[in-house]
Chains A and B, each alone.
Chain A
Amino acid sequence: MIFSQRQKDRFMSYFFFIVATASIAVLFMIMLFLFMEGIPIFQKISPKDFLFGEYWYPTDEPPDFGIFPLIFSSLAVTFLSALISIPLGVLTAIYLAEIATYRFREIVKPIVELLASLPSVVIGFFGMVVVAPFLQETFDIATGLNLFNAALMLAFMSVPTICSISEDAIYSVPVSLKEASLALGATSLDTIVRVTIPASISGISTAIILGMSRAIGETMVVLMVAGGAAMVPGSLFDPVRPLPASIAAEMAEAPYRGDHYYALFATGIVLFVFTFSFNLIADYISNKYRQVGEATL
C-alpha cells in the first residue's frame, strides 16, 4: 500500500506526539514504581511514625524506621546551602546581566556552566579530601565531614542553576525601563534595586526554588561529606544523614523486598515529593507572574 504525502505527514505528526509524551511516561513510571515498592512499609509502621519517628535503626532487631532525622538533615543542609548559594548566585547573575563588560561576561558565563558540569562525585571527593581536613584543623572539631561542609559543597552545585536562570530573567527586562529610570536621575544601583530586580522577581524566585530543589535531591555530595549520622544535628559541625545519602548508602545492603528495602523506597517517595513540589511551585510562579514586557499599547 502506498501512502500519500499527506497521510505520511499526518502519521508522522502522531508519531512525534507519542515520542514527546515519553518524558511524562517516564515520570509516571518513576512514581508508579516508587509507590509500588515503597507503600508496603506502611503495613508495618504508620505514615506518621515513619515521617516523625526519631530513630532510624533499620538493621536493629526490632528495627526502627523513623526518618525524621533524615528529613531534618536534608532540610538543614538545603537551608544552609541556600544561605550561601542564593546571595552568591543572584549577585553573580546581576553582575553578569547588568554590570559586566561584554568580554568579562563571555569569560564568566562559561565558567559558571563548567562549574555546573562538574560531576557531583568529584565535588564530593573534593569535600572529603580537601575541605574536611581543612575544617577539622581550623575549627578543631571531631570531624570535617559534617553539616557545614555538605552545605558548602551543595551551595556550589546550586549556584549555577540559580545564577543562569536569574541571569536570563534579569537580562530580559526591557532596556526601555532601565533607560527611563536612568533618565530620571537614578543611579545604576537604584535602577537595579528598584526597577530591574522587581521586574524580574518571578524569574529570580523560580531560579532560587530550582536551585534548592537541586540541593535537596543531590546525592553523592551528601553521601560523601555529610558524615552519615542519622540524628538531629545540634550544631553546624555535627555530622548528618540527609535522605538521598541514606538511600544510596543502604540500598546495596537492604535485602530485596524486606522491610528495609521498602523503607528506603518510601524515603525515596518523600524525597520525590519534596523535589516535585519545589518544581511545581517554580512552574506556578513562572507562569502566573509572567515577566512584564514592553509596556503594552
Chain B
Amino acid sequence: MEQEYKITSKNLDFYYGSVKALQSISLNFQLHQATALIGPSGCGKSTFLRCLNRMNDLIPGIRVEGEICMDGENIYKPSVDVVRLRSRIGMVFQKPNPFPKTIFENVAYGLKVNGVKDKNLIAERVEKSLRSGALWDEVKDRLHDSALSLSGGQQQRLCIARALAVEPEVLLMDEPCSALDPIATQKIEELIHELKDKYTIIIVTHNMQQAARVSDVTAFFYMGKLIEAGETDTMFTRPRLKTTEDYITGRFG
C-alpha cells in the first residue's frame, strides 16, 4: 500500500516566526490522482502546498517540523538538493506569471536551466509541452512572440506547459483559475483532467464546484488544521464532520 503514495506528510508543523500556521498535518497523496485542498482564506492550504516543493524556504523566519516524504524520502533532510527537488515537482501559481520572454523561451527555460543543450530536443519538448498544455494550436504560428501578448487564460496554460516541460512527477497548482474568466477556467479544468493520468496533481482552490469537478480526493483545511480528507464524492455528499458540511454547503466562509 505504501508504494501507492507519491507524497506523504506526517505531523507537519509550520511556523512564521512565532505564529504557528500549520498544525500537525498528516496527509497522503496517491500517485496519478488529483487532490484538491479546500478551505477558507488563511486556513493554511496554500502554505501547505508551498511546503511540498519547499517554496516557503524563500521566506525569512520560517520553521518546519515533522516530515514530508516523496517516494519515501524526506524532502526536508539536509542532504536534499532543493533545486533538484523543484525540478521534480512543478508548480503553477495563482496569477499567470510568464517571463517577459518569447513563448518558446518560456517553455524552454526549465530545460535550459536543467542543463539541456540539444536544440532539437528542446524544440521537440517545447512542442510536446505546449500540446499537453492545450495551447499548441493557438500559438504554433507565433512561438517567437512575447508571452505577454497572450490572453490571461493562454498565459496560464503557458505556465502549465512551462511546468510540464521539465517532466515533473508532481504538479502543484495554487488556485490556478482564480484570475481567469469562466471559459478559460473550463479549459484549464479539462486540461487537469487529462494531466491526471500522467502526473500526481495537488490543487488548491476556493471554488467548491471546481474541487468537485477535477479532484479524486479532497482535503479540507481550517485554521491551520486538516479537518477532514477523503474521496471527493464522499466528501461532497456525506462529509463526516459538521464543520466540513457547513463549509461545503456555504454556511460559512
Contacts and interface: CB of A to CB of B under 8 A. Distances in A.
A182 interface: yes
Contact of A180 (B60, B159, B179): B159
Contacts of B162: 180, 184
A190 B88 CA distance: 17
Interface stretch (B26-34, B90-98, B118-126, B197-205): B90-98
A183 B53 contact: yes
A178 to B, nearest CB: 8
Contacts of A297: 95-96, 152, 155, 179
B99 A185 contact: no
Nearest to A191: B113
Interface residues of B, number: 34
A184 B95 contact: no
Interface stretch (A36-44, A64-72, A194-202, A236-244): A194-202
Nearest to B100: A292
Contact of B90 (A184, A187, A190): A184
B238 interface: no
Nearest to A190: B113
Contacts of A199: 99-100
Nearest to A186: B113
Nearest to B97: A176
Given A194-B109, A295-B155, A183 B100 contact: no
A174 B93 CA distance: 13
Contacts of A195: 99
Interface string B148-165: 100010010001001100
Contacts of B155: 295, 297
B200 to A, nearest CB: 16
Residue among B93, B159, B163 with the highest chain A CB neighbour number at 10 A: B93
Nearest to B94: A176
Contact of B83 (A101, A174, A185, A292): A185
A295 B86 CA distance: 22
Nearest to A101: B60
Interface in B152-186: 152, 155, 159, 162-163, 166, 179
Contact of A183 (B91, B95, B99, B179): B91
A177 B101 contact: no
Contacts of B96: 295, 297
Contacts of B89: 183
Contacts of B242: none
B230 to A, nearest CB: 29
Contact of A295 (B84, B114, B148): B148
A292 B106 CA distance: 15
A184 B58 CA distance: 15
A177 B83 CA distance: 16
Interface in A71-125: 101-102
A294 B97 contact: yes
Nearest to B179: A297
A97 to B, nearest CB: 14
Contact of A176 (B93, B109, B163): B93
Given A180-B159, A295-B98, A297-B179, A185 B60 contact: no
Interface in B37-89: 53, 55, 58, 60, 83-89
Interface string B213-230: 000000000000000000
A181 interface: yes
A17 B75 CA distance: 61
